[in-house]
Structure 1
Amino acid sequence: MRTILVCAVLMALSANSMAQGTPPAQVEVRFDHPEKFRDASLNSPGYERGADDYVMKTLDQYLQTLGQRYLQPGQHLVVNIRDIDLAGRYEPWHRGANDVRFMREITWPSIDLNYTLSQPGQPDRQAQERVSDKMYLSRPGRASHGSDRLYAEKAMLGDWFRQRFAAQPAS
C-alpha cells in the first residue's frame, strides 16, 4: 500500500512539473568538419583524417545519455565537437595487425570542443576546452569493458560531463 502511495505522489509531482511547462533537459551535439578530424575512425587504419559514422553516432548517443542523467529540466546544452583523437594508434608496421589500435601511454584520447549551456532565467554559460585523459590506461574497470571500442573516450567524456554539469549539492 505504501509503495502505491509513493508512486502516486511521484506521478503527481511529475505531472505538475510537466503542466508548468518545464521542458526536459536537451543535449544537441554537432560535429564541426568531421572530415578534418585528426583520428576519429575505427574503420580506416593508417593516417587518413576524418571521422566515421560509428564514432560520431556513438559519442552523440553517449552525450545524450549523460544529459538525461545530469542536466536539470529546462537546461539546453549544445556541444560542438571540433576535433577528435581516439585512444591508441594504428601501427601499420606490425605484420597482420593492420586493423588493431595499439594502446600506449603516449596515445591518450582527446576531444576539442566548445559548449553553450542555456537555462531559463540565467545567462548562457560558454566555454572552449580540450578534454583529454592521459591516464586512460590506468582506469579501474577498463578490462571489463573490453568489447566497447570507445570505452576510453566515453569514460573521459563522462568525467568531464559530471565535473561541468552535474548538479552541485546545496551547502
Structure 2
Amino acid sequence: MSSPFSFAAVAMLATCASVAAHSADLSVVFVHPETFRDAIYSRPYGGEQERAPVLRDIERHLRQLADRGLPPGDSLRIEVLDIDLAGWFEPFRYRTYPDIRILREVTWPRIQLRYTLTRGDQLLSSAEERVSDLIYLMTVNRYPVGDRLRYEKAMLDDWFDRRIVKPAEHG
C-alpha cells in the first residue's frame, strides 16, 4: 500500500512533466527598456529596479498566453519596443498621492512590439505594431480590480487571439 505522500509526489511529477511537455516555444525580449515611456508601477520615474516587476509580469502573461494558445511546433518571438501603462501620475496630485495612477479616457494602455510567428521553417505571421485599447475603461475586463496590469492583460489577450492564435489556426 502506498502512502499519501508518495501518491502526491507522483501526481506532482506528472503535472510538472505535463506542463513541461506543453510549454510553448516563446521568446520575449525587451529592447532598450530604459527608454520605455511608462513601465513602472508606483511612480512616474525610476530605473531598472522599478521597471523589473512590470517587465516580469508582462513576460509572465505573454508566456501564459503562449502556453494556452500556441500550437505545438509553432514558435513565437516577441520584441517589446515600448510600454505605456494605462493611466498616469498627475503632477499636481503627486505630492499628496505619489503612488496613485490616475485612469482617464485619454491614458489608454499601449505596447509597441515586433513579433514573428513560425511553424518549423514556415513564416506564418510577422509585424511591428502598436497594441492599444482606446476604450479600456468601457470594456468588460475579466481581471480583478487589484491586478496592476488588468488593462494591459486584457489588451494583450485580444491582440494574441487576433494576431497569433487565428494565423496559427489557418497557417
C-alpha distance in 2, partners of 1:91/1:135?
A: 20
**Offset at residue 39 of structure 1 (A):** 0.6
Gaps of 5+ in 1: 1-14
8 Å CA contact retained: 1:66, 1:161 = yes
C-alpha distance in 1, partners of 2:121/2:138?
A: 41
Counterpart residue type for residue 140 of structure 2: P
8 Å CA contact retained: 2:112, 2:131 = yes
C-alpha distance in 2, partners of 1:69/1:85?
A: 25
Counterpart residue type for residue 113 of structure 1: L
Counterpart residue type for residue 68 of structure 1: D
C-alpha distance in 2, partners of 1:138/1:151?
A: 13
8 Å CA contact retained: 2:78, 2:116 = yes
Partner of 2:32: 33
Residue 101 of structure 1 aligns to a residue whose secondary structure is coil
Deviations, residues 117-151 of structure 1 (Å, cap 9, x unaligned): 11125235310000000000012146x61110110
Q: TM-score, normalised by structure 2?
A: 0.77
Number of equivalences: 148
Partner of 1:81: 80
Gaps of 5+ in 2: 1-17
Aligned residues: percent identity?
Answer: 42
C-alpha distance in 1, partners of 2:29/2:121?
A: 25
C-alpha distance in 1, partners of 2:114/2:59?
A: 14
1:155 aligns with 2:162: no
1:1-171 pair list within 5 angstroms: 25-43=24-42, 45-47=43-45, 52-94=51-93, 95-123=95-123, 125-141=125-141, 145-167=144-166
C-alpha distance in 2, partners of 1:108/1:137?
A: 8
**Offset at residue 99 of structure 1 (A):** 0.8
Counterpart residue type for residue 24 of structure 2: A
C-alpha distance in 1, partners of 2:115/2:121?
A: 18
**Offset at residue 164 of structure 1 (A):** 1.1
Counterpart residue type for residue 157 of structure 1: L
8 Å CA contact retained: 1:40, 1:49 = no
Given the superposition, is the C-alpha separation of residues 24 and 97 from structure 1 closer, same or farther in structure 2, using an over 3 Å criterion?
A: closer
C-alpha distance in 1, partners of 2:166/2:158?
A: 14
